[in-house]
Structure 1
Amino acid sequence: MKPSLQLKLSQHLALTPQLQQSIKLLQLSTLELEQELEKYLLENPLLEREDDAYAPVAAEPPTAPAGDGEKAPEETEPVASSSGEEESWLGEPDGGYANSSGSFDDDDNDFQDVQAATTSLREHLSWQLGLMGLPPRDRTLVQCLIEALDDDGYLTQSLEDLAEALPPELEIDTDELQIALRHLQHFDPTGVGARNAQECLALQLRALPADDTQMLALRIVSGHLDLLAGRDFAKLKKCVECDDERLREAQFLIRSLNPRPGAKYAALDARYITPDVVVRKVRGQWTVNINSDAYPRLRINSLYAQILSRQRGSGLSGQLQEARWLIKNVQQRFDTILRVAQAIVDRQRQFFDHGEVAMRPLVLREIADILGLHESTVSRVTTQKYMATPRGIFELKYFFGSHVATEAGGACSATAIRALIKQLVGAENAKKPLSDSQIADLLGQQGIVVARRTIAKYRESLGIPPVKLRKTL
């Protein structure tokens, strides 16, 4: 063996720093982009945001061209915020549980919820404990129970486990903890300190004025809550010996209770979405514009740029080039988002006109082929990018999905099928709700061939309970 020189010819793809930055910015969400830009602004003195107070009028964000080449007066439809459905703890598809007053629309209750969000459950209970004239030992035990509650106000640990966890020198037994728990269960909100949902509801019922309905509801909660949750009304009526009317009144009373009394004191984790693009109808055509609030306006610092133009070979020349690359890549990012969003809107016009039932099947490759982009690029653009429309705010990925074949040889999107299922369930007879097989048959009559198991999967994704739990008296 001896050393030798060899010449080898090969090809490989090298990602330049500019291309790497472009790819990185493209996959960031609006919030992540702002954080990334702040880092660049701190590190590069030649880069700055345009100051509205002193800078000239900033360049407008990219806008999709109108159909006739002219920007027409906009016929803007208001953007409606999408609202999720409340999930019922008893499986009701049409409502959740109310608070102790049974009302959802009271402005005073809304104000109280806002106030409660600023005070934690433990702070609220500790404040009440301070108003009670308990001996120091009892006060300490109640405070220990308060600290052991979960966010819903339940005591998930047994009294025996809590007694063992306390210092042995205190010589605390379960009887003392039981007395402390009774004190705690008289605090506001009613039902706090319960060890399960059955006890929580029973505590709230016992706090109400006694009458026939309250007594019947207490019997159901204490011994037959599983039958009520399972909608086995025939067996439940035999167990409590009542008619349909009385059972209906007791059920209404139970549903007005709050099985999570401490939830309204939980810390609110609000997440705000800034849409990247806005969809409007202009002269009968759906057009897409970049949201000006999401578009960062960057520029080169003019003072440093003038100094660099007179001084060649300055150490800031590299940072000047980096600043230019960043501005160009940010512009390119929004150009790509705009192109993809407009292509999506062009192919989902029926959705914007008629809603989810008109959603057509769409895959990433279709948009990629139309725009001459790679599928991975379209995937990056549609992830964590949002579109504000007259029908709500949607992630761009929302408009893509699987499809189901129709008898006519076409295809129906999964989103449209979910919307049809929701419509059928909303219009069903509550006393005779539709089974998954019946829903599949009804869709089959419309030419959409869907298996029963697929119906069940879509129904569960919509949060719609099975037929047994949707049945009412």
Structure 2
Amino acid sequence: MNTSIVLQARQVQAPVFSPRLQHAVRLLQMSSQEYAQALRDAAELNPFLEIDTAAQDDVATAAPAGSELDAAADIEAAAAFDRITAAPASGERHLSHDESFDLMQRVPLPDSLRTHLHGQLGVLRLSAREMAFARALVEALDDDGYLRISLEDIGAALGETGADAERELRTALRRVQALDPAGVAARDVAECLCLQLDAASNHASEGTRRLARRILEGHIGLLAAHDAGKLAKALDASAQEVQCAIDCIRRLNPHPGWQFGETASRIVIPDVTVKKVRGAWRTSLNASALPRVKLNTGYAQLLEKHGAQCTAMKECLEQARWMVGSVSQRASTILDVARAIVARQKMFFEHGPLAMKPLGLREIAEEVGVHPSTVSRTVHNKYMATPAGIFELQHFFSRGLNHAAGGASAPVALQGLIRELIAVEKPVAPLSDAALARQLAQQGFRIARRTVTKYRQSMNIDPFERRRAQGGEMGAPA
């Protein structure tokens, strides 16, 4: 019997990210506050990097409100920092040769929900592809712990489309939803609480948890209205059983991400501003959102004269130069993406939420000339100040809902339409979610009652039972 061993060589394309590129990705995804702190920490660790307080004062006193600071000007400003001559500070720091000089990697990051989840993923036995999908989902979570971005958009950001990629993303979603804290990566409140029910076995019986799940999946409106009587009738259960299920739900946490960091009380600093100037919408960077960094050229000159053989210090200087450049690159990317969003959503700025158009990451990526994943990271935790208020850049992205007459509308537009329908309803006879769905259908938008309920809840509008009670109180004689 002849046995032969055949060796086959295959070429496989797989992305390989250097530590510096990985850090650049993290910097791009940070909010203004996180990035500003990272700059300050880096300046403390790196003797060649310092905060330019004079530049900050110049911005505060010389730049008029809403002034245009485009990418070219920002890059020129960063380059000008290299030409500023500064005297060496007293108490020069000396670092040992065996100390790690990858200082940017030593910048401490706050203990966040994402780092907590990434730590759990790190101990799972997953393939590189499975891990990439799971980590992408973790990065897409908001501070509440919810997944507000569709799987389709996440797949597009990863460059993975089709049925197979969607199936793998759904598998990855189940893996992330199984992590601690319970309820993480849910798409809405009902799913978040349902994910926590299985972990509530020590506090409630199986029958109570099953009833609680039925309430969350089909009667969350009655739950929000505190109408236990109607819940009992709808579920064909006793009042005591329903109350036990309600008590079980009340012990759950609708904001699983809040235990990581102080997201509930954080201050939002807009990264860009949008205003109308001479009939055109102008988008500019908020120059005061970040501290300006520059090279300490005095130290750099000393190194050139006396430290020619000090490889570690040369690496330190190189990292400082990279950091200064990354500030300009980050600002340029944010501004390009924001301008592209404003151009695509011009009708929103002109006429309000009803004119919001569907918009995908890939559209902006093609216009800016970057990968969709770069756009995804750019819009994360970045805010835009507009005449209508401050919005997260992610607010302008959504999948379209088809209209019967053709075309599509963004969910934000439908939310605005629902708000208008409720605003003109009769106080003593408010519209139920089913009635709202029927009125939307008459206008060409065929959406399910549950979708209307989700939109109404996202706008913090009471269910029709409570609005009817409030209307009755307002109409009652004094």
CA distance in 2, matches of 1:375, 1:53: 33
The corresponding residue for 1:395 is 392
Q: Which runs of structure 2 are paired with 1:264-283 in the superposition (5 Å)? A: 270-283=265-278
CA distance in 2, matches of 1:431, 1:352: 34
CA distance in 1, matches of 2:451, 2:70: 40
| The one of 271, 282, 286 aligned to 1:291 | 286
- Per-residue deviation, 1:20: 2.4
**Deviation string for 1:166-211 (max 9, x for gaps)?**
xxxxxxxxxxxxxxxxxxxxxxxxxxxxxxxxxxxxxxxxxxxxxx
CA contact (8 A) 1:383 1:397 kept: yes
The corresponding residue for 1:313 is 309
Determine helix, strand or coil for the equivalent of 2:427.
coil
| The one of 387, 404, 408 aligned to 1:407 | 404
CA contact (8 A) 1:277 1:288 kept: yes
Q: Which runs of structure 2 are paired with 1:276-425 in the superposition (5 Å)? A: 276-311=271-306, 312-314=308-310, 315-425=312-422
CA distance in 1, matches of 2:39, 2:228: 55
1:50 aligns to 2:46 (yes or no):
no
CA contact (8 A) 2:71 2:331 kept: no
CA contact (8 A) 1:421 1:439 kept: yes
- Per-residue deviation, 1:274: 0.9
Q: Which runs of structure 2 are paired with 1:154-169 in the superposition (5 Å)? A: none
| The one of 35, 38, 50 aligned to 1:36 | 38
- Per-residue deviation, 1:303: 0.9
CA contact (8 A) 1:21 1:329 kept: no
The corresponding residue for 2:233 is none
Paired amino acid for 1:30:
S
CA contact (8 A) 1:230 1:469 kept: no
**Deviation string for 1:302-337 (max 9, x for gaps)?**
211222232323352211111000111121111111
CA contact (8 A) 2:56 2:288 kept: no
1:439/1:34 CA distance change after superposition, 3 Å: same
**Deviation string for 1:239-279 (max 9, x for gaps)?**
xxxxxxxxxxxxxxxxxxxxxxxxxxxx9974211111111
1:35/1:360 CA distance change after superposition, 3 Å: same
The corresponding residue for 2:451 is 454
1:441/1:14 CA distance change after superposition, 3 Å: closer
CA distance in 2, matches of 1:459, 1:56: 46
CA contact (8 A) 2:39 2:293 kept: no
- Per-residue deviation, 1:15: 2.5
CA contact (8 A) 1:231 1:469 kept: no
1:429/1:324 CA distance change after superposition, 3 Å: same
Aligned residues: 274
- Per-residue deviation, 1:375: 1.6
CA contact (8 A) 1:62 1:334 kept: no
Determine helix, strand or coil for the equivalent of 2:54.
coil
- Per-residue deviation, 1:230: 5.6
Q: Which ranges in structure 2 are unaligned for 5 or more consecutive residues?
A: 1-6, 74-222, 230-261, 473-478
1:328/1:351 CA distance change after superposition, 3 Å: same
CA distance in 1, matches of 2:448, 2:367: 33
The two structures, once aligned, show a CA RMSD in angstroms of: 3.5
Higher helix share: 2
**Deviation string for 1:65-95 (max 9, x for gaps)?**
99xxxxxxxxxxxxxxxxxxxxxxxxxxxxx
CA contact (8 A) 1:382 1:395 kept: yes
The corresponding residue for 1:437 is 434
Determine helix, strand or coil for the equivalent of 1:370.
helix
CA distance in 1, matches of 2:346, 2:300: 46
**Deviation string for 1:34-73 (max 9, x for gaps)?**
221122111110101113189998999942699xxxxxxx
- Per-residue deviation, 1:292: 1.1
CA contact (8 A) 2:48 2:300 kept: yes
**Deviation string for 1:214-242 (max 9, x for gaps)?**
xxxxxxxxxxxx9x97699xxxxxxxxxx
1:54/1:405 CA distance change after superposition, 3 Å: closer
Paired amino acid for 1:322:
Q
User: Could you tell me the percent identity over the aligned residues?
Assistant: 43
Determine helix, strand or coil for the equivalent of 2:404.
coil
CA contact (8 A) 1:361 1:411 kept: yes
- Per-residue deviation, 1:395: 0.7
- Per-residue deviation, 1:283: 1.9
CA distance in 2, matches of 1:51, 1:349: 36
Q: Which runs of structure 2 are paired with 1:217-232 in the superposition (5 Å)? A: none
CA contact (8 A) 1:63 1:289 kept: yes
Determine helix, strand or coil for the equivalent of 1:299.
strand
- Per-residue deviation, 1:394: 0.8
TM-score by length of 1: 0.52
- Per-residue deviation, 1:414: 0.6
CA distance in 1, matches of 2:356, 2:386: 14
CA distance in 1, matches of 2:289, 2:302: 32
1:457/1:268 CA distance change after superposition, 3 Å: closer
Determine helix, strand or coil for the equivalent of 1:321.
helix
Determine helix, strand or coil for the equivalent of 1:415.
helix
Q: Which ranges in structure 1 are unaligned for 5 or more consecutive residues?
A: 1-5, 67-225, 233-266
Kindly report structure 1 stretches of 4+ aligned residues shifted beyond 3 Å.
6-14, 53-62, 228-232, 267-270
Determine helix, strand or coil for the equivalent of 1:393.
strand
CA distance in 1, matches of 2:30, 2:44: 19
Q: Which runs of structure 2 are paired with 1:191-206 in the superposition (5 Å)? A: none
Paired amino acid for 1:291:
N
The corresponding residue for 1:20 is 22
- Per-residue deviation, 1:455: 1.6
CA contact (8 A) 1:405 1:412 kept: yes
**Deviation string for 1:268-297 (max 9, x for gaps)?**
974211111111112211121110111331
